[in-house]
Structure formats: C-alpha cells, structure tokens
A and B are shown apart, each in its own frame.
Chain A
Amino acid sequence: MKIPAPAAPETIQELIGIVGEDNVSASMVNRLMNSRDMFPVSLMHHAEGRPKYFADVVVWPENAEQISQIIKLARKLRIPVIPFGAGSGVCGGALPIHGGISLDLKKMNRILDVSADDLTVTAQAGIMGQTFEMELNRRGYTLGHFPSSIYCSTLGGWAAARSAGQLSSKYGKIEDIVMGFEFVQPDGRITQISPVSGYDSGPDWKQVLIGSEGTLGVITKLTCRMHPFPESRKYVAFKFPDAPAGTQAMRLIMQNGLRPAAMRLYDELDTMLVGSKGAEESAGVGLTDFIPLTQIETRLRTLAPGFINKAQRFVARWSEAANLLERLGKEGCLLILMFEGDEEIADYEYEAAVRLCEKLGGRNCGPDPALKWFKNRYHVSYKMSKVFYNGAFVDTIEVASTWKKLMPLYNEVREAIRPRAFLMAHFSHAYEDGCSIYFTFVSSAKDSVEAEKAHRKIWRLAMEATLRVGGTVSHHHGIGLSKADYMVEQHGDLMSIFRAVKDSGDPDNVMNPGKLGL
C-alpha cells in the first residue's frame, strides 16, 4: 500500500499561522481518522488495513474567520477542503478522494444562545448531536432531531447531509429545524442567512446549502427551532395483516393531521424476526433496526431446525433463508406508534390514532413493542460492523415515494435484490404525501474483493428499480460518493442548474470535490 505524502511543510506552516500549532496535524493517525466514514466499502478497506484515501492534513478551526482564511489559502494552492464533522456518513461523503485539507469542525462545539421566548437555539456547527440534545434537555427543551447516528454526528453534519431523525414526523427534518445559519462561501466570504427568512423572498439559499454535503461551503453556526421537553409520552402498537394494510393506516394517520413522534411499520419478514409478542427473545426492535445475525439463526432454529443443520455455511444462503422464513410463518406487519408533547394534544392524538387503527382492522398489541423500540432505538448503528468480515456484508437503502407509488417501489426493489441477499424493510418517516422505505440487506461473497462487487451490484439493481418506479434514490442518507451516479440519473437535465450553482460559487472546485455527481 502506497501512502501519499502529507501536505507540504510550507502549507502546514501557513495553516499553523491561521489556527495555531495545536490545531494542525499531519500525523498518520489523524490523517487516517479523518479519511474514513461509515460507508461500508470504506469500512471494509480500513478493517482490512488497506485504506484507499488520505487527507494531506487535518485542521481544527475555532471560528468562521479562520475557516475563511483556510479556504482562501486552499484556493490559492488549489487543494481541496473537505469539511468533516464526526464521520458517520454512510455514502463516503467525507472521504478525501483527491486528498486535501480535512477541515474538522469539532472544536466549534458551543451553544451560543437559548431563547425561551422564541423557542430557538443557536449553536456552533461542530457540536455533537447527543451533547447538544442533552444540554437542551437540561434546560427543559428538545431539538426533536434523533438520527440513529446521534452519538457520532454533528449539528453541521446534519445540515450538510440533509439528515432526518427518528421522530421527524412530529418535529420535521433538519431543513425544517434549521431556521438560519452563518456559512463560509467557497470564495472565503462569511455570510449570514437570517432565521427570519422563513417568511422571506427570493431563491432560498438556505435550502441550497442544506444537503450540499460540503460542496458549496462550510456551515459554521446555526439557529434552530426547539420545543419544550415533552411532558407526556404515549405508546401503542398494532398488528396489520400485510404491508399495504399497515401503510394505509400510516397514510390516514398523517392525512388526518395526526403527528406521531414515532411511527414505524415492519414488513412481514422483519416483524417475524421481532417476534410476535413484543419479542422477548430479541432486543424488541425489528431486524432493520438491529442486525445480530444470530437473531436470524435463532429464529430459523425454532421454525426449521433442519435448515440450519443442513447449512454448511449459513451466511451463504440468505435468500433461501428469507424464502423459508416467509413460507413458515404469517405474522403480519407490526406498526409501532409513539405520541409525545403537550399532554392534552398527545392524548387527543393517541386516542384518535387508536380509533383509526382499530377501524382499519389493526389488532391492538398494547404499548410494549413501541416502548421496547424506544428503549433500543439507537442500537443499530453501533452493533452492525461485526458483519463486515470474511466477505459478509450488510447495508441499508432508504428510498421514498408518494403513497401511490409506495407499494410498487417496495415490490420492485424486493424483486430486484432478493435473489442476491436477505432483505427486509420497515416504513418510517411518513408524510401526508408519501413515505420512505428503509431496506436492510445482508449478503456475502467468497472474499472481500468479491463482496465489494456484489455490494455494488445490489445497489445498482435497487437504484434502477427505484428510478423505474419514480421514487427518490435517497430519503435521508445523502449522496456522497457512493450514490453520485444515481444522483445524476435522478436529476437529469436539472444537474445543469446544480453545476451552474457550483461553478459560479466555487470555480476552482475546492470544496469537497468529486461528491454529489459534480
């Protein structure tokens, strides 16, 4: 493995001049740490000791002024700048594919202002999600943004990658939560987008920067909506015969104006692995939330002991296992609901939702499955990586469509992938006009090189199916590197507008080059 040289000594000196000696590092450890994210393929490369990309140098600016100077320097030297939060993106968005300066924002981590009257909070971009939420909780508020990466992602990263949290049906996605921000343009100029601009005119540059994944500038300080910490929580779960019946309930809940904080429907395979009684033997969450392989094995051992005994190597027979599981049991689909907030309103919404689900033929399973989900809701992100060894791999695909296209989308993606992987799904992030589907696939190949190929093929098939039906290729994981081709296929001629934004703002292509299909 050839390791590229670090940044030139003169460059490092200039950077030290801007941010001070303590805030620059060209050490191997730091360069490596900031040259990976949670993109499964890059994880595989790192796990096997063959990382593909290296940042030249890492800097930790402490304010927007320093970032402005760093960007100006990078432009002068024509070297890339890659804004870096906590590196939990799953699409390779923060990988330094052309080397360059990794601009790590984690030292800009302060809460600057909390206004009780306005229910707004202003904080620096590098604050960690969980720290931010806990600070707000301590003061009696919540941000309402709970991506499962909350322990290892930053506020600025959320905005840059268009993040969505688990309770987004009530609190909105990051683009709804962020009211305004300060950012450094690719020309180094610092600009403010007013939090009052929710009422304002003209093209909305806030919505251009959000989701730009570091290609259009660096967000440094954000003003967000916050909410009083919920005084009440109500949990309930329902079992529906199949996915169409379950998604119909979700649709009508949203279209009747109810706003559950959490609403997730597990498809039949996923529900089966949860177990029918709130899952005593499992973590109480669906497989798409939690991926211990043993759980599939355990379930199969109970339902079809012969299959496991006969299997030479269990992981090689994913699709067979899935088909077998589906033949063996018809458990229906589990819908979990949680309402929170003001007690009067949460009570009203809870009761209205229960009435609606019962009317639609759902079987009330009580609060337990929903409670268990709530307790274990972050497990998935932190217990997955074990799967990445010996040619086995797991990944998730999150797509979305209008309600009308939702079942076709579900079916097409399933048909495309199932011959190649064990696949299950849940439906979450519902809207009045549509919903997202979160697929989890597990598969394996004889070695990691073959695994990488197989992994890419599965993505290609899933994305083609999505585009065919008319869904979006990403609901909330973003584009980064891994979905760049699909971004271009999705937007077609519209990419000319995006390129014009990029070329006019960053003619030297300094900001995070090579991402988002640019």
Chain B
Amino acid sequence: MTSRFKGNVELFHRLKEIFGANRVRHTSVETLLYAQDISPKSLIERRAGKTPPAADFIVRPVAVEEVSRLMRVADRWRIPILPYGAGTSRRGSVAAIEGGIVCDMKLMNRVLSVDDESLIVSAQAGILGEHLEHELNRKGFTLGHFPWNFQASTLGGWVATRSAGEAFTKYGGIENMVVSMQAVLPDGSIVKTRTAPRSATGPDFNRLLVGSEGAIAIMTRIKLRIHIFYPRQFHVAFRFKKFADGAEAVRKILHKGLRPATVHLFDKEETAKFFADSKLRLSGNLLMAVFDGKKSRAEMESEVAARIFQESGGESRGEQPSQYRMQHRFSRVFRNSPAFSQPGGIHDAIEVGAPWSCVNAVYAKMVKALGKRFELSTFLNRPTPHGAVLTFTASTKAVKESDEQLLLKLWQRAGKAAAAGGGALLHTSGVGLQSAEAFAQDLGPTHGWLKDFKAQIDPKRILNPGKLGL
C-alpha cells in the first residue's frame, strides 16, 4: 500500500521548518527500520519476506514545543503520528498501518532534575530505561523498574504501555511510580498533571494517560518516585518437590507481610532451560527471592523467608542460583530471538494473572492444554498477597499449519485454559494491534466509552490509529 503522503513536498517542507533538515527523514531504508518491532507476528511476516507497513516520515523532536507544532501539522493534513521509543513492542504497538509520521522521542533523553528531599526524578520521555536507572544509581537512587526489555526500551514506552517489571512485588508497576507528567494532546495543547503524593480531586488523570499507548497524548516529560539505592542484595533459593508447594511458600511469605523485590518460582522445565549454560547443576522446581533496601531490613526479611521456605518443605540451594539469574535475566530474552528466526517455528511468551486460589489450576490447565504441542516452560513471578503472574514460554516447529496458524492456535488454547483455571491473559507487553480484540473484550461496554472518548479528544484519529482497538 502506498501512503497518500509519500513524496508530499509541502508536508516535507513544513516538517523541515519545525525540525530542521537533519531531524526529518523519509528514505525507505530509514522508514523500513522504524517499521520493525519484535512481535512474533511481525517476525513471522518478516521471515516470509513480507514488507511491513512503513511510515512516510520520521521526525526527532528535542523539545515539547516541537511536538506541539507537529500535532498541529498532523491535524492540518490528517496524517497519523506514531510516538516511538525503542521499538521493542511485542504487539505491534507502533506499526504504521496507515502510514504517517514516526515521532522518535529518543533525542529527548535527559534527566532534568532529582529532588533528593521528596525522592522524585524528572526525566524526558525518550531516555532509555537502563540509562535512567544507571544515572539514578550514580546519584544513590533507584527507580526499581526492571522489565524484560530493560536494555532496549524508553521511559515513555514504559509509561505508554503500562509496563511491569520483575520487582513489581516491592516497587509496583510503572503506573505506581508516575507522580505526574507533561504531555501534548492531539490539539497541540501542552498539559501537565499535578505533582502531589496523592489527591482526591476527581479521577486520577495520570492513570488515564498511563497505558494509553500513544493514542491519547504524547508524553514528553515524566516525574517518578525513586528510592534510596542499596547495592547489597540478599538472595535465597529453595528447591521444591512440587510446583504447588513452592507457590504455597510464596503465598505464605507475602501474607506474613514480607516484601521481596523479586520472586521467581521456576518449574523444572524452566530451571533446566535457564541454567543450561551454568555450572550450578540445578534441577526441579526452584524458588528464588531477592531482598533489597536497607541492610538490616533486607537481611531480616531474607532470614524469615528462608525459614518459611524451609518449613514449607523446600531444600536450600544457597545464594548462587538467584545471583546467577540476576546476572542473566536480560540476556536470556535476546538469546531466544536467534532460535526464533529459524524458519518454520514459533516462540512466544504468555502471561496469565491468577488469584492464589487459582494459581495451581491455571498452571495445571495450561500445561495440559499446551504441553504436548509446544515445548513449554513456566515460571511464577510478580506475586502479591493476592495472586501472582504465571509466565509460560512456548515454542514449537510447524508441521502442517503455517506459522501464523500455529501462533493463533497457541493463543486460543492459552486463552481457554487460563480462563478455565480462573486466571486472565495479561497484555503485559502492551495491547497494540495484536491484542486489541482481546483487550476490547476484557473491557466490555467500557471499550465503547473509551472509543467515544478517543473520538472526542482526537476526532481526526491522528494519534497512533488502530491501537488499543481505537
């Protein structure tokens, strides 16, 4: 499909007026690069030699005023804008399905201020997550947000997709970290949410913008809660005979009131896979927990947790397994991608949220539904006193079906099994294009309201059209 804006000289000149010649790009090589994400679906298509839909222009703002002017241009031409971070969406969140202008935020990448009394950092939306965390660490703070794509994602991307990191149990999801933000609305107006620890002044507008996946506003500056950084972490690891026993042990420590930063319970397949290259000789269901923060507290909590794990039938495996996991937690995700790029097979991760009373049923039903057709490994993570997330990694070779059909089958079976067990499929990597239908179903009548809201705020459908089912 050729976009109606391709080669539009007048528009090109207008963009150059705003951004200067260097920060407006339009060659097909460049637009194609921005058309990639890492969703399994687009990887399958790429492997099949299909060209993904590409944008017409790429602009790289350095200031909020430029974003505001861009909105006005887009309004005038009715051209879509695709806010863009690091391009690691797994659900086609920034796919240029109707062409348009990619608004690459990565030049707006500065930490603007750190309020060391209120523990609030203010940063521009395009900063890479890892850079933000390292800069905070240098100043003695941490954000506590470690999503799987930590090394290749931006702060704005996190907020736009309502990202959840592995330290969710202690620090919450990105929505809990956001204090306030500056954003540009589709009419070009620059708005700010108020900076306060908490308010009872109507709805929480931050929470309307967090998770809006670029469809309601472009976020330009974000203030976040930060914490004092204590480099020393306390690790524990225990082996359990049954997955359910490990899950029960996790529930117990959380009901007692302990707040580990991260908890992972690997099933035996996950343990075998994750530690394959290590010298640790581990097997079975492995429960690992990390405690951080002030030393006396972290030490106390790790000791209490170890005691409870022991009482629940766990066998201690020392600190090393958890330390090893910590060192390799990010590399593992990217190590999976080459395997995936082999033709004739799929690989995807499915996350299911479940209350504690359903965790075992969800695990059993998912294994039953997927275990034969797919190579499956599972871990429990991000637990709260009320439930946990089960992450299922599935891969397989295609036999009769096409890769697309296989991927569809995986998700359909997973959806049924999760629901049958009492859990819910999560759109942890964002909703984007590919989970839009499921998202609309989850929301029920409210999705209609969201659509009408979008139509009011963005009547010309300029901002990231088609995402979130909007």
Given A195-B355, A203-B209, are A500 and B457 also a contact pair (CB < 8 Å)? yes
Category for how many chain A residues contact B: 35 or more
Given A201-B211, A404-B117, are A497 and B191 also a contact pair (CB < 8 Å)? yes
Q: Which residues of A contact B255 (CB under 8 A)?
A: 119, 228
Given A192-B444, A256-B294, A402-B120, are A202 and B198 also a contact pair (CB < 8 Å)? no
Secondary structure at the B interface, as helix, strand, loop or mixed, is: mixed
Given A191-B446, A505-B452, are A196 and B203 also a contact pair (CB < 8 Å)? no
CB distance from B355 to the nearest CB of A (A): 4
- B202 near A496: Cβ-Cβ < 8 Å: no
Q: Which residues of A contact B189 (CB under 8 A)?
A: 493, 496
Contact segment of B130-138, B310-318, B420-428:
B420-428
- A475 near B228: Cβ-Cβ < 8 Å: no
Q: Which residues of B contact A210 (CB under 8 A)?
A: 203-204
* Per-residue A-contact encoding for B166-207, CB less than 8 Å = 1, 0 else: 001000010100010000010001111111111111111101
B453 at the interface (CB under 8 A from A): yes
Choose among B164, B192, B423, B430 the residue that contacts A196 (Cβ–Cβ < 8 A): B423
CB distance from A392 to the nearest CB of B (A): 27
- A255 near B162: Cβ-Cβ < 8 Å: no
CB distance from A141 to the nearest CB of B (A): 11
CB distance from A340 to the nearest CB of B (A): 10
Within 8 A of A (CB), among B428-454: 428, 430-431, 435, 439, 442-446, 449-450, 452-453
Choose among A189, A200, A505 the residue that contacts B426 (Cβ–Cβ < 8 A): A200
Q: Which residues of A contact B384 (CB under 8 A)?
A: 198
- B424 near A473: Cβ-Cβ < 8 Å: no
Q: Which residues of A contact B195 (CB under 8 A)?
A: 402, 470
Q: Which residues of A contact B257 (CB under 8 A)?
A: 341-342, 345
- B203 near A120: Cβ-Cβ < 8 Å: no
Q: Which residues of B contact A191 (CB under 8 A)?
A: 443-446
A204 at the interface (CB under 8 A from B): yes
- B213 near A173: Cβ-Cβ < 8 Å: no
B27 at the interface (CB under 8 A from A): no
**Closest chain B residue, CB of each to CB of A430:** B197
Choose among B168, B175, B300, B387 the residue that contacts A204 (Cβ–Cβ < 8 A): B175
Within 8 A of A (CB), among B192-240: 192-205, 207-213, 216, 225, 227-228
* Per-residue B-contact encoding for A96-139, CB less than 8 Å = 1, 0 else: 00000000000000000001011110000000000000000000
- A434 near B197: Cβ-Cβ < 8 Å: yes
Q: Which residues of B contact A179 (CB under 8 A)?
A: 386
- A175 near B204: Cβ-Cβ < 8 Å: yes
A414 at the interface (CB under 8 A from B): no
B53 at the interface (CB under 8 A from A): no
Secondary structure at the A interface, as helix, strand, loop or mixed, is: mixed
B356 at the interface (CB under 8 A from A): yes
B276 at the interface (CB under 8 A from A): no
A435 at the interface (CB under 8 A from B): yes
- B439 near A203: Cβ-Cβ < 8 Å: no
Choose among B201, B203, B387, B427 the residue that contacts A200 (Cβ–Cβ < 8 A): B427
- B428 near A402: Cβ-Cβ < 8 Å: no
B456 at the interface (CB under 8 A from A): yes
CB distance from B177 to the nearest CB of A (A): 10
CB distance from A227 to the nearest CB of B (A): 8
A358 at the interface (CB under 8 A from B): no
CB distance from B50 to the nearest CB of A (A): 27
- B198 near A400: Cβ-Cβ < 8 Å: yes
- B293 near A257: Cβ-Cβ < 8 Å: yes
B251 at the interface (CB under 8 A from A): yes
Give Cα distance in the complex from A492 to B193, angstroms. Answer: 9
- A348 near B300: Cβ-Cβ < 8 Å: yes
* Per-residue A-contact encoding for B319-356, CB less than 8 Å = 1, 0 else: 00000000000000000000000000000000101111
Give Cα distance in the complex from A212 to B207, angstroms. Answer: 13
Contact segment of A290-298, A445-453, A476-484:
A476-484
Give Cα distance in the complex from A341 to B257, angstroms. Answer: 8
Choose among A189, A206, A251, A478 the residue that contacts B117 (Cβ–Cβ < 8 A): A251
- A504 near B197: Cβ-Cβ < 8 Å: no
Q: Which residues of B contact A436 (CB under 8 A)?
A: 197-198
Q: Which residues of B contact A341 (CB under 8 A)?
A: 257
- B202 near A207: Cβ-Cβ < 8 Å: no
Give Cα distance in the complex from A363 to B321, angstroms. Answer: 46
B455 at the interface (CB under 8 A from A): yes
Within 8 A of A (CB), among B136-167: 161-162, 164
A494 at the interface (CB under 8 A from B): yes
Give Cα distance in the complex from A206 to B427, angstroms. Answer: 17
- A161 near B200: Cβ-Cβ < 8 Å: yes
Give Cα distance in the complex from A450 to B230, angstroms. Answer: 58
Given A192-B444, A402-B120, A493-B189, are A208 and B208 also a contact pair (CB < 8 Å)? yes
B389 at the interface (CB under 8 A from A): yes
Q: Which residues of A contact B293 (CB under 8 A)?
A: 257
Given A208-B203, A210-B203, are A201 and B161 also a contact pair (CB < 8 Å)? yes
Within 8 A of A (CB), among B229-278: 251, 255-258
- A201 near B430: Cβ-Cβ < 8 Å: yes
- B198 near A431: Cβ-Cβ < 8 Å: yes
Q: Which residues of B contact A479 (CB under 8 A)?
A: 200-202
Q: A203-B450, A517-B202 are in contact. List 19 more A-B contacts (CB 8 A).
A: A118-B356, A190-B445, A196-B423, A196-B424, A199-B164, A199-B389, A202-B162, A202-B468, A205-B449, A211-B203, A212-B203, A348-B296, A348-B300, A433-B225, A472-B194, A478-B200, A494-B192, A504-B452, A516-B202
Residues of B within 8 A of A (CB): 115, 117-120, 161-162, 164, 168, 173, 175, 179, 185, 189-205, 207-213, 216, 225, 227-228, 251, 255-258, 293-294, 296-297, 300, 304, 351, 353-357, 382, 384-387, 389, 423-424, 426-428, 430-431, 435, 439, 442-446, 449-450, 452-453, 455-457, 468
8 A-B residue pairings within 8 Å (CB atoms): A161-B200, A203-B212, A204-B175, A207-B203, A432-B225, A474-B199, A501-B208, A516-B202
